[in-house]
Amino acid sequence: MSQTPLKTKKPFFLRFKDERILLILFALMLAFPFVMNLITGSGLNDGITKFWQGQLIIFFIMAVFAMSYDLLIGFGGILSFGHAASFGGGAYTFALLMEHWAPNFIGKYRILIGSLDITEGIVLLIVFLAVVLVSILIGLLFSATSIRLKGAYFAMLTLALGTAMFILVKATDFHEWTGADEGLHGVYVPDWINPTQNRLTIYLISLVFLVVCYLVMKRMVNSPTGRVIIANRENEDRMRMIGYNPVLYRTIAFVSASFFAGLAGALYSIWNTSATPTMVSAVTTVNALIMTILGGMGTLVGPILGAAIMQTISQFFYTWFGARWPLVFGVLFILIVMFLPYGIIGTWRMKRNDIKGGWQKLLRLLSKKEDL
Amino acid sequence: MKPENKKRLMIFIWSLVGVGVVAGLYLYAGKEPFIRTTLSGLTLGSLFFMVAAGLTLIFGLMDVLNFAHGAMFMLGAYMGWQLYTNPTFIFGMLPALLAFSTGIMMTSVIKPYLIRWEISSKWQNFLPKAAYFLALVIGVVAFWGFDILQLANTAMVAATTTTAGNPLAEISAQEPFVQFWYRPLLLLLSGLLVAFASSKPGVKTEFAPLDEMKSKLVLPIVLFGLTILSIIIRESAPVAILLMNGNWRFVISIIVAIAFGFLFGAIVEITLIRPLYVRSFFIVLMTLGLSFVIQELVQLLWDPLAYQMVRPPLFAQPGKAANLMEWLRNGSSTIDVFGVTFPTYRLFVILLGVVMFVFITLLMTKTRLGMIIRAGVQDPQMVEALGINVKRVFTFVFALGVAMAALGGIGAGPFLPIQPAMGEQYQMQGFITVVIGGMGSYVGAFVGAFLLGMGRAFGDYFALKLSLSPAIAEASTVIIMIIVLLIRPQGIFGKKE
Amino acid sequence: MSDHNQNDDILIIDNIHTFIGQFHILEGVSVRVPRGSITVLLGRNGAGKTTTLKSVLGLTPPREGKVIFDGMEIQGKRAFNVANLGIGYVPEHRAIFRALSVMENLKLAERQKGDFNRNADFIFHLFPDLKRLYKLPGNHLSGGQQQMLAVARALVPDNKLLLIDEPSEGLAPILIQQMMDAIRELSQKTTILLVEQNFIMASQLAKRYTIIDDGQSVHDGLMQDLVNDQDLIHQYLGASIKTRKELEKNHETRK
> How far apart are alpha carbons B17 and B23 in whole angstroms?
10
Residues B218-246: pLDDT tens digits?
A: 888 999 999 989 888 887 888 788 878 88
Residues C53-94: pLDDT tens digits?
A: 888 888 888 888 888 888 788 887 888 888 888 888 888 887
Cα nearest neighbour of A78 on chain B: B281
> How far apart are alpha carbons B39 and B343 in whole angstroms?
10
**Using CB atoms, which residue from B205, B378, B384 is nearest to C76?**
B205
Q: Please enumerate in sequence order all residues whose Cβ is within 8 A of that of B117, keeping only pairs 6 or more positions apart, or say none.
A: B201, B202
Both C3 and C77 in a single domain?
yes
Both C38 and C145 in a single domain?
no
Helix ranges restricted to H, chain A = 20-40, 47-70, 83-100, 102-108, 119-146, 151-170, 175-178, 199-222, 224-234, 236-242, 246-271, 282-295, 301-321, 325-339, 343-350, 352-371
**Among the listed residues C101, C181, C180, the one whose alpha carbon sits nearest the alpha carbon of residue C136:** C101
Cα nearest neighbour of B279 on chain A: A341
**Residue C242 scores a pLDDT above 80:** no
Which pLDDT band holds residue B93 (cuts at 50, 70, 90)?
confident
Pairing of strands C208-213, B332-337: unpaired
CB contact under 8 A, B378 and C98: yes
Residue-level pLDDT at B2: 67
> What is the domain partition of chain A in residue ranges?
19-323
**Using CB atoms, which residue from B285, B469, B482 is nearest to A145?**
B482
Residue-level pLDDT at C73: 80
Q: Does B47 touch chain C (CB under 8 A)?
A: no
Domain, as residue range, for C119 = 95-158
Out of A58-72, A199-213, C176-190, least confident range: C176-190
User: Does the residue C231 lie in any domain?
Assistant: no
Both C214 and C167 in a single domain?
yes
CB contact under 8 A, B285 and A156: no
3-state secondary structure of A213: helix
**Residue B470 scores a pLDDT above 80:** no
Residues in B touching A330 (Cβ below 8 Å)? 289-290, 292-293, 296
Q: Does B149 touch chain A (CB under 8 A)?
A: no
Q: Which of C85, C97, C105 to mutate to test the interface with B (most CBs of B within 10 A)?
A: C97
User: Does the residue C222 lie in any domain?
Assistant: yes
**Among the listed residues C96, C206, C211, C200, the one whose alpha carbon sits nearest the alpha carbon of residue C154:** C96
Q: How far is C99 from chain B (nearest CA, A)?
A: 7
CB contact under 8 A, A326 and B276: no
Both C81 and C25 in a single domain?
yes
Strand C64-69: give its sheet, edge to edge. C23-34, C9-20, C64-69, C72-73
**Using CB atoms, which residue from A79, A148, A330 is nearest to B293?**
A330
In this prediction the ipTM stands at 0.80
Q: Are B270 and B404 spatial neighbours (Cβ–Cβ below 8 Å)?
A: no
Which pLDDT band holds residue B255 (cuts at 50, 70, 90)?
very high
Residues in B touching A306 (Cβ below 8 Å)? none
Residues B382-438: pLDDT tens digits?
A: 888 888 888 889 999 999 999 999 999 999 888 888 888 888 888 888 888 888 888
Both C116 and C169 in a single domain?
no
Q: How many domains is chain C built from?
A: 2
**Residue A243 CB burial class (10 angstroms; 0-12, 13-18, ≥19):** exposed
- The mean predicted confidence, pLDDT, of chain B is 84
User: Does the residue C108 lie in any domain?
Assistant: yes
Both C2 and C81 in a single domain?
yes
User: Does the residue C211 lie in any domain?
Assistant: yes
Average pLDDT over residues A104-121: 78
Residue-level pLDDT at B403: 94
Residues in B touching C104 (Cβ below 8 Å)? 371
Which pLDDT band holds residue C1 (cuts at 50, 70, 90)?
very low
Residue-level pLDDT at B258: 93
Residues C155-194: pLDDT tens digits?
A: 888 888 888 888 877 777 778 888 888 888 888 888 888 8
> How far apart are alpha carbons B351 and B221 in whole angstroms?
38
**Residue B183 scores a pLDDT above 50:** yes
Q: Which domain-ending residue is among C158, C173, C206?
A: C158
Residue-level pLDDT at B353: 92
CA B174 to chain centre: 29
Task: Report CA dihedral (A85, A89, A95, A97) to the nearest 10 degrees.
Answer: 160
> How far apart are alpha carbons C152 and B306 in whole angstroms?
59
Residue-level pLDDT at B236: 82
Between these two residues, C5 and A70, which has the higher pLDDT value? A70
CA B304 to chain centre: 21
**Residue C200 scores a pLDDT above 70:** yes
> How far apart are alpha carbons B414 and B311 in whole angstroms?
5
CATH number of the domain within which C38 lies: 3.40.50.300
Q: Does B471 touch chain A (CB under 8 A)?
A: yes
> How far apart are alpha carbons C180 and C187 in whole angstroms?
11
Cα nearest neighbour of B208 on chain C: C81
Q: Does B59 touch chain A (CB under 8 A)?
A: yes
Q: Which of residues 39-58 of C touch B (CB under 8 A)?
A: 57
Residues B449-461: pLDDT tens digits?
A: 998 898 888 888 8
Both C107 and C118 in a single domain?
yes
Residues in A touching B300 (Cβ below 8 Å)? 324, 327
**Residue B357 scores a pLDDT above 90:** yes
Q: How far is B106 from chain C (nearest CA, A)?
A: 20
Average pLDDT over residues C105-124: 82
Element (H, E) at C39: strand C38-42
User: Does the residue C68 lie in any domain?
Assistant: yes
Between these two residues, A31 and A148, which has the higher pLDDT value? A31
Q: Does B206 touch chain C (CB under 8 A)?
A: yes
CB contact under 8 A, C108 and B371: yes
Both C82 and C1 in a single domain?
yes
DSSP state of B275: G
Q: Which domain-ending residue is among C111, C132, C158?
A: C158
Q: Does B286 touch chain A (CB under 8 A)?
A: yes
Cα nearest neighbour of B491 on chain A: A153
Chains that touch C (3 or more CB pairs under 8 A): B
> How far apart are alpha carbons B174 and B235 in whole angstroms?
7
Both C1 and C68 in a single domain?
yes
Residues B96-142: pLDDT tens digits?
A: 888 888 888 888 888 888 888 888 888 888 888 888 889 889 888 88
**Using CB atoms, which residue from B290, B475, B489 is nearest to A167?**
B475
User: Does the residue C153 lie in any domain?
Assistant: yes
CB contact under 8 A, A164 and B285: no
CB contact under 8 A, C108 and B377: no
**Among the listed residues B381, B474, B431, B491, the one whose alpha carbon sits nearest the alpha carbon of residue B54:** B431
Average pLDDT over residues B6-33: 85
Residue-level pLDDT at A129: 92
- pTM, 2 dp: 0.85
